[in-house]
Amino acid sequence: MLEIRNLHARIAEDGTEIIRGLNLTVNDGEVAAIMGPNGSGKSTLSYILAGREEYEVTEGDILYNGESILELDPAERATKGIFLAFQYPVEIPGVATMQFLKVAMNEQRKARGEDELSTPDFMRRVKEAAAGLQISPEMLRRPLNVGFSGGEKKRAEILQMALLEPKLCVLDETDSGLDIDALKIVADGVNALRSPDRSVVVITHYQRLLDYIVPDTVHVLYKGQVIKSGDKTLAHELEANGYADIIEAAA
Amino acid sequence: MPAVQETIDQVRLIDVDQYKYGFETTIEMEKAPKGLSEDIIRFISAKKNEPEWMLAWRLEAYQRWLTLEEPTWARVDYPKIDFNDLYYYAAPKNQSGPMSIDDVDPEILKTYEKLGIPLREQEILAGVKTSKIAVDAVFDSVSVVTTFKEELKKAGVIFMSISEAIREYPELVKKYLGTVVPTTDNFYATLNSAVFTDGSFVFVPKGVRCPMELSTYFRINEKNTGQFERTLIIAEEGAYVSYLEGCTAPQRDENQLHAAVVELVALDDAEIKYSTVQNWYPGDKEGKGGIYNFVTKRGDCRGKNSKISWTQVETGSAITWKYPSCILRGDGSRGEFYSIAVSNGHQQIDSGTKMIHLGKNTSSRIISKGIAAGVSQNTYRGQVSTHRKAENARNFTQCDSLLIGDRCGAHTVPYIEARNASAQFEHEATTSKISEDQLFYCLQRGIPEEAAIALIVNGFVKEVIQELPMEFAVEAQKLISISLEGSVG
Ligand SMILES: Nc1ncnc2c1ncn2[C@@H]1O[C@H](COP(=O)(O)OP(=O)(O)OP(=O)(O)O)[C@@H](O)[C@H]1O
Ligand SMILES: [Mg+2]
């Protein structure tokens, strides 16, 4: 699904290197967790996967289903099935959530040469997905993310993911700001989407989320590199001992 | 920031390529000699077969105008206009007034066809229902066709060019002309009073609800010619009328002047809804050419419980100087102003409204949405005032500005004067920017940049679009997207 080879990337504006020789492979159907201290480059990596122009790739490659995506713009990547649930979802004033969903779904369909969804078909899909995430119709009428609580924003991200049916889902701290019940709802939402042809990259600081979304692999990101990889037990280790030992071992 | 820079670049490219109405009609024209003088005014008046009093009125305005200075308080910047270097009258040869459609020069008919303006009396499809729209088509200095005149007349509604009305209904015109915007009002209004050439006249008698939408379509075609539109709409007691004007012009390197005066009078319990979709040629990407749009529009809520509402979608013109206003004279009267002003490229807009509360229990509402892109400047200038005796005046003002890119400017200049302690005025203003974060978020969902901008802009202007007659709402929305389009394909 995803293969990142010796990736180096910097901030386009000032040339600061953030990603410094990162390697990561995520197989079809795999759930990979990425952990790491604040500022280690997790969100930056997710933005680079999504194609944000603020960052410039200087070396290495990102292969998605065997093909480099470095030349694709963000909308093209989205259309090919790469989805990013933002750490800080952006407010879109004046645009009802429902309308945003419809435009996003139809733009993607259009780009793939598919027909637009009929209104009843669209409504049915939204209703179903929203109900599962306990998102009210009232919320769907409000402008996207405007005035949403932290938890509502995160649920709205997962709703979009469910409707857009991506192949590679990158969840950037989707658990932060969620209460226990909401965490469970969101995790159920993600688990429902797990399938052999869909991979999930979960960026998180806490084992708690990984209790619900059990990862196949865990990777530690530090200063723009993956310094250790393992299975789910690695996350438990980190929870118990912190990053100090691993960082020292890698140095 | 790369993403935004690109947007700015794209938006900056907006110019003639996007302007769909920039073509020119080649027909033989009859013009007054260049320049402005008493003789020219006599020429215009004679062309229109005007009664003596009308000529006297014009000449008085002209004398007055000679003593006035061009105003400079607006936030717009342009080279000095040489008023003697313009033509003040230009009409298709053999047509000094409206005629039967079969007699109109086919080139003119083709022009309106290209512009999508129905000059035949047909029903048009608007959404799911069909409706009739009466059109007065003004080509440079003259009205060429007015449709549905007879059908309207049966309902008691007079709809014709102002030139005809001066001849056919002199008493009505005399009674109302210049009573809302006096000839002494301001530099451009005074000029207009001296040299106005055509525009529409609407009279809806007591108790009549005008059975269809009325509209006037202004086209400037001739080079170096100013268009001086004069429109007068009167709604008698309990009458209702909805009126829409549209405007376009060919793309030319020279600037052209459009200085209009529009007067509305609403008597007791009458309502006038006046909508504008202004799409004059805005100039090219270097800021060359485009219309100078200096317009005085004012409505007088003369009767009790009368209502006047202005809705404007301003996307064109190099310079817009325009403040459709309401004088809330009648007790319980209401004024509304809904505006979308889109500036792009080098366009400059200084627009807003005045709500002047004179009667008791009057109310007004102002919703202004300014969108600035490119290197344009977009100013909202609004005044809300209450007279000493205006008990319980209420106003709600909301001014929102949206910036696209960071080389444009949006400004809000409210003037508030409450001379009566019972006045309740509310003012809200916001400025936002389509941020790089918002665009990236949309892109990440597969929504391309232009669709994302359109989505956000449409959300921003929704409140005002809803105020337009349904027949024009879709058109207006499209126009806004086109004005902000950067890279088609
Ligand atoms: N556009 C930018 N301008 C300046 N600094 C940036 C920019 N983007 C990222 N950085 C810096 O790069 C580093 C990595 O940031 P990033 O947001 O990727 O960290 P993170 O691992 O997601 O941290 P957290 O766990 O706190 O979310 C930080 O030091 C951050 O300040
Ligand atoms: Mg982060």
DSSP string, B424-470: EEEEEEEEEE--HHHHHHHHHTT--HHHHHHHHHHHHHHHHHTTS-H
The per-residue pLDDT for range B322-342, each reduced to its tens digit, is 999 999 999 999 999 999 998
Cα separation of B402 and B409, whole Å?
Answer: 10
Is CATH 3.40.50.720 the right assignment for the domain spanning A2-250? no
Residues of A in contact with B445 (CB under 8 A): 78, 100, 104, 107-108, 160, 164
Please choose from A43, A54, A56, A171 the residue to mutate so as to test ligand 1's pocket, defined by most ligand atoms within 8 A of CB.
A43
ipTM: 0.96
Using CA atoms, how far apart are residues B376 and B282, in angstroms rounded to an integer? 11
Q: Any chain A CB within 8 A of the CB of B188?
A: no
Distance CA A125, CA A128 (A): 5
User: Is A99 in the B-facing interface, judged by CB distances under 8 Å?
Assistant: yes
CB distance B29 to B90 below 8 Å = yes
Whole-structure pTM value: 0.82
- DSSP letter string, A50-67: HT-TTEEEEEEEEEETTE
Q: What is the DSSP string of B395-419?
A: EEEEEEEEE-SSS-EEEEEEEEEE-
3-state secondary structure of B300: strand
What is the rounded radius of gyration, in angstroms, for the C-alpha atoms of chain A? 18
What's the average model confidence in pLDDT over A42-61? 96
Helices (H) and strands (E) in chain A, counts: 10, 10
Q: Is B254 exposed, middle or buried (0-12, 13-18, 19+ CB in 10 A)?
A: exposed
Concatenated DSSP letters of B187-219: HHHHHHHHH--B-EEEEE-TT-B-SSEEEEEEE
Question: Would you say how long chain A is, in residues?
Answer: 251
Which atom of ligand 1 is closest in space to residue A224's alpha carbon? Answer: 14
Say if residues A96 and A151 touch (Cβ distance below 8 Å).
Answer: no
Describe the strand order of the beta sheet including A67-68 as a list of residue ranges: A17-26, A2-11, A55-64, A67-68
Q: Which residues of A touch B401 (CB under 8 A)?
A: none
Query: Is some CB atom of chain A closer than 8 A to the CB atom of B446?
Result: yes
Quick one: which ligand is closest to A44's CA? Answer: 1
Determine which of A82-96, A167-181, B112-126, B171-185 has the lowest per-residue pLDDT on average.
B112-126
Question: How far is the centre of ligand 2, averaged over its atoms, from the C-alpha of A188 (Å)?
Answer: 23
> Which ligand is located closest to the Cα atom of residue A37?
1
Torsion A109-A115-A116-A118 (CA) sign: negative
Report the residue of B340, B444, B456, B477 to disrupt the A interface, i.e. the one with the largest count of A CBs within 10 Å: B444
Q: Give me the residues near ligand 2 (ion), CB cutoff below 5 Å.
A: A 42-43, 87
Token look-up 């990236």 returns B440
Q: Which residue in B442, B445, B456, B477 has the most chain A C-beta atoms within 10 A of its own C-beta, making it the best mutation to test that interface?
A: B445
pLDDT digits (tens, 9 = 90+) for B188-232: 999 999 999 989 999 999 999 999 989 888 888 888 888 899 999
Q: Which residues of B touch A92 (CB under 8 A)?
A: 438, 441-442, 455-456, 459
Question: Tokens for B352?
Answer: 């807003």
A92-106, B124-138, B309-323: least confident range: B124-138
Residues in chain B: 489
Nearest protein Cα to ligand 1, atom 13: A39
> Alpha carbon of B59 to those of B2, B41, B49, B65: distances in Å?
59, 7, 16, 10
Q: What is the pLDDT of residues A205-228, one digit of tens each?
A: 999 999 999 999 999 999 999 999
Q: Are B137 and B92 in contact (CB under 8 A)?
A: no
Q: Which of A52, A57, A84, A109 is the best substitution to test chain B (most B C-beta atoms within 10 A)?
A: A52
Q: What pLDDT is attached to residue B95?
A: 78
CA of A173 to the centre of ligand 1 (A): 13
Dist. CA A71–CA A38, nearest whole Å: 29
The residue extents of the domains of chain A are 2-250
Q: What is the pLDDT of residue B8?
A: 42
Other C-beta atoms within 10 Å of B40: how many?
A: 20
The residues, any chain, with a CB within 8 Å of residue B273's CB and separated by 6 or more, are B241, B242, B243, B308, B309, B311, B469
Helices (H) and strands (E) in chain B, counts: 11, 23
pLDDT tens-digit profile of B71-94? Answer: 888 898 888 888 888 888 888 887
